[in-house]
Amino acid sequence: MAQASEDVNFRHMFRIPTKGDLRRKANSRSSNSTKKDDDDEPSTYLCGNSLGLQPTLTQTYMQQYLDTWATKGVFGHFTDISDSELVPWLHVDDDVVPQMAQIVGAKESEVAVMQTLTANLHLMLASFYRPDSLRYKIILEGKAFPSDHYAVESQIKHHSLSPSNAMVLIEPPNPSSSPLLPTDHILATIDAHASSTALLLLPGIQFYTGQLLDIPRITAHAQAHGILVGWDLAHAAGNVPLQLHAWNVDFAVWCSYKYLNSGPGSIGGCFVRDAHFERPRLAGWWGSSKSSRFAMTNAFEPIAGAGGFQLSNPSVADTTALRASLDVFKRTSMGALRERSLRLTGRLEEGLLASRASGCYRIITPRRVEERGAQLSVQLNPGLLDAVLQRLEEEGVVVDERKPDVIRVAPAPLYNTFEDVEAFVRIFGEACLEAVARGEQSGSSVMAEGGKEDKGWSEIK
Ligand SMILES: Cc1ncc(COP(=O)(O)O)c(C=O)c1O
């Protein structure tokens, strides 16, 4: 395990797209007809909050998986292969659980690698949301990721209840001045609905603002009122240190394609606290103990743990890709990664605040490092977004956008560098000033706010 002071830059273990890679329509570099001078330079990829980059091990392990399938067929389920790092397919899920449990701070028995995030959320709600005439509400944020909103809404309807009174949406206290959700405001909303609420579902890190919520405090507060607490950790898993067991979280779900780098749509994760292993559930054969799984007796014998909530045999391709990424995480610790992440994101913040273009945007992510992970969300002045994104694309800078005017910028500590951050700040600043100048020339209302004055979020909204 690496200590916090060790350098944890694992960039050499990732495939960083070059600028030419991003420009070409084809994958193959030989198909390039219109070559540019900087085609071979690495791109500035700051989008690990959306899709993490590919570890170099992924190709090696995927090839081993394909070779096993090609040469062993069905026996790949049971056979130890001497020239492969991978376990027989029957055990692929168990193989990745220990490292995943480390990353989220849980006992191994409390973690399952299974399904996908939204599917896992439904499975957890089926187990944990058991409304009765007294407690029937679910509290979530008003700007929850739409899939979470749909999952909760449909679960409420599934119990023949009405979302209009069973779904409590937490909105920012002052939406015109800040999109953030202060902890006290969340706690006050819980208090206001305490006796009628069955369940609280919140994001560890809010996808739009990048706000890291106070998971232990909010969990303890809700539980003191008899409310079960679940967390969507899509943007937190592999990004910030988590202690799900110590924080007494009831359940959590996450995906593995963001900071966990296992490829688009890859397999999800699920945490069930040990006190809940006996809960009712929607069952499938993969949740039944290995000894009985193939007996075909119709006697469901749930695995004692989160694994007992699995349904189907897991995608070996997905799980193999996850194993490749977790083998990188294995070389370090979340503490060491967080230390580097704080420095990278701190440098990004400093650069953005000191930029000549700082009047063109505002950082909406909390300034306190305890309240954020790797990502900063930057809100541009109205009318600038499209021109700025176009310029970033031309320069091989990858971030993602949330219309109408926010970009999310996330230096991932495993593979991003301080040079990436500095390149972004420079190119982004130039792009903003150019967009303003172009807007002024064309007589549109695009404005720079002029220097580094601190404008209120509402003023530039
Ligand atoms: C916060 C959050 N929740 C849920 C989802 C949905 O994930 P999936 O499509 O894997 O179910 C996403 C996807 O990006 C997300 O960011």
pLDDT in tens, 165-222: 999 999 999 998 999 999 999 999 999 999 999 999 999 999 999 999 999 999 999 9
Q: What is the mean pLDDT of residues 337-355?
A: 98
- How many angstroms separate the alpha carbon of residue 312 from the centre of ligand 1? 20
Q: Is 165 marked as binding a ligand?
A: no
Domains 11-42+335-460 and 75-329 fall in the same CATH topology: no
Distance between first and last Cα of the chain: 45
- Single-letter amino acid code for the residue at 402: R
Residue 294, pLDDT score: 85
Residue 443, pLDDT score: 66
According to DSSP H, which parts of 227-381 are helical?
A: 290-293, 316-329, 334-354
Whether 376 shows a pLDDT value over 60: the answer reads yes
Distance of alpha carbon 75 from the chain centroid: 35
User: Is CATH 3.90.1150.10 what the domain over 11-42+335-460 is classified as, yes or no?
Assistant: yes
Whether 5 shows a pLDDT value over 60: the answer reads no
Report cis status (omega within 30 of 0) of the bond before 404.
yes
Instruction: Say how far apart CA 228 and CA 270 lie, in whole Å.
Output: 16
136-163, pLDDT tens digit by residue? 999 999 999 999 999 999 999 999 999 9
Q: Whose CA is nearest to atom 8 of ligand 1?
A: 117
Task: Kindly list the domain boundaries of the chain, sorted by start residue.
Answer: 11-42+335-460, 75-329
Instruction: Say how far apart CA 350 and CA 422 lie, in whole Å.
Output: 10
Q: Are 414 and 261 in contact (CB under 8 A)?
A: yes
Both tokens of residue 280?
């009712």
Q: What is the mean pLDDT of residues 420-446?
A: 88
Q: In this prediction, what percent of the chain has a pLDDT beyond 90?
A: 88
Q: Which of 115, 140, 147 to mutate to test the pocket of ligand 1 (most atoms within 8 A of CB)?
A: 147
Instruction: Say how far apart CA 345 and CA 376 lie, in whole Å.
Output: 7
Q: Which of 255, 258, 267 to mutate to test the pocket of ligand 1 (most atoms within 8 A of CB)?
A: 255
Instruction: Say how far apart CA 234 and CA 212 lie, in whole Å.
Output: 12
- How many angstroms separate the alpha carbon of residue 119 from the centre of ligand 1? 10
Instruction: Say how far apart CA 46 and CA 16 lie, in whole Å.
Output: 11
Atom of ligand 1 nearest to the CA of 255: 10
- How many angstroms separate the alpha carbon of residue 208 from the centre of ligand 1? 12
Which residues approach ligand 1 with their CB closer than 6 A?
116-118, 145, 147-148, 203, 207, 232, 234-235, 255
Instruction: Say how far apart CA 390 and CA 380 lie, in whole Å.
Output: 14
Atom of ligand 1 nearest to the CA of 257: 10
Task: Indicate the fold that domain 75-329 takes in CATH.
Answer: Aspartate Aminotransferase; domain 2 (3.40.640)
Whether 249 shows a pLDDT value over 60: the answer reads yes
State the burial class of residue 224 (Cβ atoms within 10 Å of its Cβ: 0-12, 13-18, 19+). exposed
Mean pLDDT for all residues in the chain: 93
Q: Is 191 marked as binding a ligand?
A: no
Contacts of 184 (CB under 8 A, 6+ apart): none
pLDDT bracket for residue 416 (50, 70, 90): very high
pLDDT bracket for residue 444 (50, 70, 90): low
Both tokens of residue 241?
């240190």
- How many angstroms separate the alpha carbon of residue 167 from the centre of ligand 1? 20
